[in-house]
Structure 1
Amino acid sequence: MRLLPSSKFVRNNLLASALAALFVFAAPVASAQEFKLAMSSPPTSMDPHFYNLFPNLNVSDHMFETLVTMDADSKVIAGLAESWTLINNLTWEFKLRKGVKFHDGSEMTADDVAWSMERPSLIVGSPGKMDVYTKAIINKKVIDAHTIRFTTKEPYPLLLADLTSIYIVSRKATTGLSSDDFSSGKGMVGTGPYKFVKFQRDDRLEMDRNEAYWGKKPAWSKVTLRFIPNGSTRLAALLAGDVQAIENVPTPDLAKVRADPNISLYSKVSHRVIYLFPDTAREKSPFITDKDGKPLDKNPLQDQRVRAALSMAINRDAIRDRVMEGLSEPTNNLVPATLFGYNPALKVVKYDPEGAKKLLATAGYPNGFGLTLHTPNNRYVNDEKVAQTIAQMFSRIGVATKVEGLPMSIYSARGAKQEYSLGLLGWGAQTGEVSSPLRALAACDNPARGFGGFNWAKYCNPKMDVLLTQALNTVDDKARLKLLQDATAIVINDGGLIPLHQQVTTWATKKGIAYIPRTDERTHAYQFVQQ
């Protein structure tokens, strides 16, 4: 049978489609203009299969494409595959677009697709491998140059969503290359709207328009992505005209930006949840001390009551109003209410410092203890400021808390080695539903199944894993929804993860340039248009 959008899908996307159409018609004829865009986080690698990290994916989107992709509301739409058919419960057939060329002029074929599904598992040294999205595929069969079939071991309704994260690369151009080779341009042979020109680590990426692009050519002939982690510097670059657009407007400057007639501001609640991950696995944790700074032999974070007390000590509304300037939605879920798997029974934890103190006392810590909260300082909106605010809230209930902020490249490398007792992180539901954070962040560590790839605290609850596994193999949406909601409740009520808020993403442009805000937070130079 041919898989077609449901009527609900169509209704929910009429407005987004209408807006997109307006933007398309507003776009000028391809011109010789250069577009400069300031990004808030630099990529760690140019290899599109190296690391499942948002800044990497965001950059790869410009040069590489996937079989299926997500629209601005995180709904699956066609990409390099023009259609797909579920032949039986285990077999999917994809028809590729004909005439699609790689940047080197060679034709994209089903053989390249098969190779692209295999390559992520071969990557060496990745802190977060992308083969989590290919684990379900046990067989790849090339039918002809433009047809490929994937077989899964069990019914797997998330295959389409997973494939939105696997970029199609040229077998010829990438075979035998290391991930480090890509930074010099080797292997940077995609099908996307832009071609790689030059990469200067932590500074900029330069690209030229792909004049042979199979889809609608973008307006800009040259694009430069500037990597400017400091929010004030990023905004200053926009105001000075050094760039025409930026992502993640610094919250202290929101009022000024809104009042500036020469700047347009865009925003949208994203699918990214900001959360804390406590070390629940180790009897002795590296940054847990008594009030005098001496290491504790017993890790208090292993006690669910302590984790609940920490959650109760966080005033999420105050963080939204005073730190985030309204750019957050307090939550006790792992996805926003618009995504599949959201559990409405999980209400935002009420701020209750006195109740938190009582819980600590009941758990055997009437005088509290000490810990260090680790956080990125250049990845999420006000990440270190949020951590500092939480540290003050913890200290009020007797948990003396220090904060150590690190650049994301260093933070993620250490986090993958389980070096923290308590950390702050964010996760975007790339598959458009809660199974994404559940299997990556909360499932028991099991690389063979693609579980726990970003479970840096090694939290493990077998009951949750059973429900998640059932959900991943259940085609009926109603039954799968219940399984995912129950699995989420286990993790949250156990304090395996402590959600803080859904992040609201912002973009600002020079007047006359428009952008359609995206739930997935991605910033695509080719989707900025002149009005």
Structure 2
Amino acid sequence: MKKLTKVLALALAFTLLLAGCGGSATQSTSANEGQTAETQESELKDTVIFAQGADVTSLDPHIGKETPAVTVHGQIFDTLLATDKDMNIIPGLAESWEILSDTSYKFNIRKGVKFHDGSELTAEDVKFSLDRAMASSYVSYIVNFIDNVEVVDNYTVIVNTKEPYAPTLMNLTHPSAAIVPKAIVEKDPEALKTHPIGTGPYKFVEWKPGEYAKLEANPDYFRGAPKTKYVIMKVIPEAAQRTIALETGEVDIAYDLSANDLSKVAENSDLKLLEGTSLSAWFLQFNTKHKPFDNKLVRQAIRYAIDSQTIVDTLLYGAGEVAGSIIPPVAFGYQEVDTIKYNKEKAKELLAQAGYPNGFDATLYVNDNQQRIEICQVIQSQLKEVGINVEVKVLEFATFIDSTNKGEHDMGYYGWVTSTADADYTYYPIYHSSQHGAPGNRSFIANADIDKYIEEGRVTTDPAARLQSYKALEQILTEESPVAPLYYSEVNVGTSKKVQGFEVQPAGYHSYLNVTVSK
């Protein structure tokens, strides 16, 4: 973890300093794009199948922002900029860029890139896409630092920001900043939900909700044709069943294996276990619109009552780390100042101070993932010890998202990926008062001081000043406790040994461009 932590920190620091420069900085394309496979085609399968625990929420990249959606539509669409496996920024649909000032960025778009319908990508598509993302109630937080997008000519755009914004370039790598075809979406604004058309390495074929999605290789992809003709995503909610599917050859790749299956996969001579540092944190959000969660003493009490180390040790088998913040240690801006540690007696004391010496009843919402359910059951048991009676409500993933967006929960169990490796990507949607509901603030907290420090961290390009703002922010978050950080997870993926070219990406957005499966 330390090695990647250093890599990400250095990469982000460089990005931040670069974003703060006045002059220009031009980036060139990689020399290794479009390499051909050495293995003869006859020795390879024409399909790679991967399994994940939840289904796509939407194939429209400006709606479906959750990881299970991005794993699919991220193969269909591209962004202006991209990242490599170490989270370094690399060219995407923009072959180069210049920083004109601390609020203005010029992007030179690749010529000859085609959407899957054969139409050519132009600057108009880029402007339309970023404007559309800014207008989306689901993903606007990713791009709402943008003031406007100017079309200079067919292959040049200038992105102007409202204020200096340190993570500008990193945010433009996010899959929800995807570039979509203007002509198609203007004709039918709903088109991408069921039949997405992008410029990516794979074209959409079919999606059967709750079961699978199928994609076909784009032979005209600008980085070179994918090495495997078809990619199929299968929905297998239970982690144990994903392991079985991997062992039996039903799937070639399985995401997010159960912690107690990791050693079994690692020891299987036909399989490989890939592990890596994650940008994910897991936590509870307390609905501050519901009593008694409007009382910060109650929220603090629950945090004291939860023994996260037991969760890590018994349910994750040590494959995690107790969290004091929802910013992972590998991300820029991590500032753990939290002083709340497991203390059952302190929890009881705070409940009594809040007027609930005998506890109360509450709901805890979670989606239908077996490990997550088991974690919530442990939390249920721990809270019972301080008098809080918790009903664990298990919902299908899309229903869970919709219900908690609407604020139907008392508490909700969530995971969040700091996809850009920059704290603003998480702080802003989870805590800012303008981001209630779908963007991420499902605690519905509205606190002027929280907003103040988040906004300070957004507009300064000085890394040291940003860290000071985030330290002050974390101190307030400890006091207000709208969220209970639980643990940081690790990325794990199981694959057949017949799989080649698959790389673990810290944000979990794994590419299939160069993946092959031997027969």
Structure-2 change in CA distance of 1:446 and 1:356 (3 Å): closer
- Is contact 1:439–1:452 with CA below 8 Å preserved after alignment? no
> Which residue does 1:308 correspond to in 2?
300
Confirm or deny that 1:270 pairs with 2:278.
yes
For residue 318 of structure 1, the aligned residue among 276, 288, 310 is 310
- The equivalent residue for 1:53 is 66
Distance in 1 (CA, whole Å) between partners of 2:293 and 2:180 is 44
Q: Match for 1:64 among 64, 77, 83? A: 77
The CA deviation at 1:266 is 0.8
Match of 1:290 in 2: none
Q: Displacement of 1:7 after TM fit? A: 11
Tell me which residue corresponds to 2:378: 389
Structure 1: gaps (5+ residues): 14-19, 286-298
Q: Structure 1 residue aligned with 2:319, among 299, 312, 327?
A: 327
Q: Using the aligned pairs only, state the percent identity.
A: 28
Contact 2:306 2:383 in 1 (8 A): yes
**Which moved further from structure 2: 128-137 or 33-42?**
128-137
CA distance in 2 between counterparts of 1:6 and 1:424 reads 27
Amino acid at match of 2:183: K
Partner of 1:476: 462
**How far is the alpha carbon of 1:510 from its aligned partner?**
0.9
CA distance 1:219–1:489, shift in 2 (3 Å)? farther
**Match of residue 87, structure 1, among 90, 100, 103:** 100
Preserved contact between residue 251 and residue 325 of structure 1 (Cα < 8 Å) = yes
* Change in 2 beyond 3 A, CA 1:119/1:478: same
1: CA distance between counterparts of 2:161 and 2:256? 39
Alpha-carbon separation, structure 2, partners of 1:7 and 1:413: 35
Give the partner amino acid of 2:294: Q
Match of 1:361 among 349, 352, 367: 352
Contact 1:37/1:525 (CA < 8 Å) preserved in 2?
no
1:137–1:153 CA contact under 8 A, matched in 2: yes
Q: 1:141 aligns with which of 133, 142, 150?
A: 150
Aligned to 1:73: 86
TM-score (norm 1): 0.86
Partner of 2:127: 114
**Post-superposition CA distance 1:470-521 (Å, at most 9, x none):** 2211111211121123223322332111100112221111113243222102
Aligned position for 1:295 = none
CA contact (8 A) 1:68 1:77 kept: yes
Give the 3-state SS of the residue equivalent to 1:92 in structure 2.
strand
- What CA distance in whole angstroms lies between the structure 2 residues aligned with 1:355 and 1:464? 25
Comparing 416-425 and 490-499, the one that deviates more: 490-499
Partners of 1:132 and 1:453 within 8 A in 2: yes
Query: Bigger shift: 202-211 or 510-519?
Result: 510-519
Flag the 1:130–1:323 CA change in 2: closer, same or farther, 3 A. same
The amino acid across from 1:401 in the alignment is: V
Whether 1:220 aligns to 2:240 is no
2:187 counterpart SS class = coil
Q: Match for 2:65: what amino acid? A: N
Measured after TM superposition, the shift of residue 154 of structure 1 is 1.5
Residue type of the alignment partner of 1:484: Y
Q: Distance in 1 between matches of 2:9 and 2:285?
A: 39
For 1:208-357, list aligned pairs within 5 A.
208-280=216-288, 282=289, 285=290, 299-346=291-338, 349-357=340-348
* Pairing partner for 1:160 from 169, 193, 205: 169
Corresponding letter in the other structure for 2:455: T
1:29: how far off?
A: 6.2
Match of residue 138 from structure 2:
129
Q: Given the alignment of the two structures, is residue 418 of structure 1 paired with residue 393 of structure 2, yes or no?
A: no
Q: Which range is displaced more, 107-116 or 423-432?
A: 423-432
Aligned residue-pair number: 491
1:494 aligns with 2:480: yes
The answer to whether the 8 Å contact 2:94/2:108 transfers is yes
Question: In structure 2, how many angstroms separate the alpha carbons of the residues matched to 1:145 and 1:274?
Answer: 43
Secondary structure, aligned partner of 2:510: coil
Q: Secondary structure at the match of 2:245?
A: helix
> Relative to 1, partners in 2 of residues 1:122 and 1:434: Cα closer, same or farther, differing over 3 Å?
closer
Equivalent-residue separation in structure 1 for 2:52 and 2:482 (angstroms): 32
Within a 5 Å distance, the mapping from 1:27-42 to structure 2 comes to 28=39, 33-42=46-55
Which amino acid is 2:490 matched to? Answer: V
Of the candidates 9, 24, 39, which is equivalent to residue 11 of structure 2? Answer: 9
Residue deviations 1:174-229 (CA, integer Å, cap 9, x gap): 213243x33542xx221111111112112111111111111043321111111221
Tell me the residue number matched to 2:452: 466
The worse-fitting range, judged by mean Cα deviation, of 475-484 and 74-83 is 74-83
* Whole-angstrom distance in 1 between the partners of 2:49 and 2:13: 35
Q: Could you list the runs of 5+ residues in structure 2 that have no partner in the other structure?
A: 1-6, 16-30
Return the letter of the residue paired with 1:202: G
State the 1:527 CA deviation. Answer: 4.9
Counterpart of 1:9, as a letter, is: A
Contact 2:454 2:473 in 1 (8 A): yes
**Of residues 402, 424, 437 in structure 2, which corresponds to 1:435?**
424
- Post-superposition Cα deviations, 1:244-285, rounded to whole Å, max 9, x if no partner, equal 1111112332232222111100112311111111122x3xx3
Contact preservation (8 Å) 1:121, 1:130: yes
Residue 522 to residue 114, structure 1, CA distance change in 2 (3 Å): same
Q: Secondary structure at the match of 2:398?
A: helix
Superposed displacement of residue 92, structure 1: 0.9
Superimposed CA distance per residue, residues 312-344 of structure 1 (whole angstroms, 9 cap, x where no aligned partner): 111111101111122321111122211111014
| Kept in 2: contact 1:27–1:530 (CA 8 A) | no
1:411–1:527 Cα change, 3 Å: farther
1:73/1:520 contact within 8 Å kept:
no
Q: 1: distance between equivalents of 2:325 and 2:333?
A: 9
Query: What SS does structure 1 have at the residue aligned with 2:75?
Result: coil
* 1:409 partnered with 2:398: yes
Moved more, 484-493 or 311-320: 484-493
TM-score, length basis structure 2: 0.88
